[in-house]
Amino acid sequence: MSPIPPPLDDFLEAAFALVRKKAFAHLLYIGDLPLPAVTPAVKKKLTQAVTSEPQRAVANAQGVFAVAIPAYEGLSRQEKLKLALLAGVSAARFKEGETVLVIVGKRATSWPDTLMMVTIGRRQSENATDDLHFELPSDDRIPSQVLEGLIEQAVTIGIEGWEGHPIGTLFVVGDTSRVLERSKQLSMNPFQGYPESEKNLLNPMVRDALRSFAVLDGAFVIREDGVVLAAGRYLQFGDSDVKVSLGLGARHMAAAGISRESEAMAICVSQTSGAVRVFRKGEVVLQISPRSRRI
């Protein structure tokens, strides 16, 4: 364990004092090192975001509620925060309308050096500051575990690619009847003929398969409960009114178009930058951009 630097005591004391106030429902600590001198009152509000399931189990055994997020140092503090908030929402720890105090460091094995505040949910007014809010990219019909799993898978693809090469891909989840009606199969569907129990993305083996099949042209179509129905689908939509930011290509156009013309959500991985964008009703509702990639 790294030695505790002298200023850390004052930093943590200030954070602990703040989180004891009623305005803050949670203290979110993003890091693998155990926090020193955590009182029972603070521990009750504490959620720790660690970078592996074994570390999560250790934290839980110490009485700390913990979630696991991807172990990528190429993610900035802000991007790690988004993933940690998603994991907390998925675990039913964080709820819309709650305000979370956040402490995070440069690396998972660094002591926290940054204090942030964020409110879960949409802005209440146009004058509210975007940076102080985390808008849930969610749909009541799509379980948060499914959405979180897809976004984490997309981040992995964006950072690691496939066999040393950058790849882009597109996941479309929800409203599958309409999505299938508005798409066609480009090649053989690798998920056809398998029982549903063997093609649910909540299964780690299925997530590995998603990464390998991401090299196929076209989109994945995924049911609300996480069952992967197809890969390699060409999406068809009226593109006359579809607009995306300058520099984004056909894959992002397809994500915006299908999410606008259906109730589905689309998660797009950029082959060029590795950035992950979540589209709903034709608009980007979440973006995670790695600072560096492993390819």
Query: What is the model's pLDDT at position 140?
Result: 74
What pLDDT, on a 0 to 100 scale, did the predictor assign at position 3? 65
Sheet holding 283-288, edge to edge: 183-185, 228-235, 219-222, 169-173, 265-269, 276-280, 283-288
Q: How many CB atoms lie within 10 A of CB 291?
A: 12
User: Is residue 229 a contact partner of residue 180, using CB atoms and an 8 Å limit?
Assistant: yes
What tens digit of pLDDT does each residue of 72-116 get? 888 999 999 999 999 999 999 999 899 999 999 999 999 999 999
The residue ranges of every structural domain in the chain are 6-134, 144-288
Phi, psi angle pair for 271, to nearest 5°: -70, -30
Q: How many residues does the chain have?
A: 295
Per the DSSP assignment, residues forming a β-bridge with 47 are 28, 65
Going from the C-alpha of 243 to that of each of 78, 171, 267, the distances in angstroms are 26, 19, 16
Q: Confidence band (pLDDT; 50, 70, 90) for 122?
A: low
Tens-place pLDDT, residues 35-50: 998 999 999 999 999 9
Q: Per residue in 153-190, pLDDT tens?
A: 999 999 999 888 999 999 999 999 999 999 999 989 99
Closest listed residue to residue 96, CA positions, set 49, 149, 137, 127? 137
* Stated pTM of the model: 0.87
What is the residue type of 130?
Answer: D
Q: What's the mean pLDDT in 252-277?
A: 94
| Average pLDDT for 47-58 | 95
User: Which band of pLDDT confidence, cut at 50, 70 and 90, is reported for residue 139?
Assistant: low
Domain topology for 6-134: Pyruvate Kinase; Chain: A, domain 1 (3.40.1380)
Domains 6-134 and 144-288 share a fold: no
pLDDT digits (tens, 9 = 90+) for 207-257: 888 989 999 999 999 999 999 999 999 998 876 577 777 778 889 999 999
Q: For residue 129, is pLDDT > 50?
A: no
Which letter does DSSP use for residue 49 in this model? E
- At residue 133, the pLDDT reads 59
Residue 226, token pair as written in the block: 């996480």
31 torsion bin: left (phi>0), alpha (psi -120 to 50), beta (else):
left
CATH superfamily, region 144-288: DNA integrity scanning protein, DisA, N-terminal domain (3.40.1700.10)
Q: Show Cβ contacts of residue 36 under 8 Å, excluding neighbours closer than 6 positions.
A: 4, 12
Per-residue pLDDT at 127: 42
| Average confidence (pLDDT) over 105-128 | 78
% of the chain exceeding 90 in pLDDT: 71
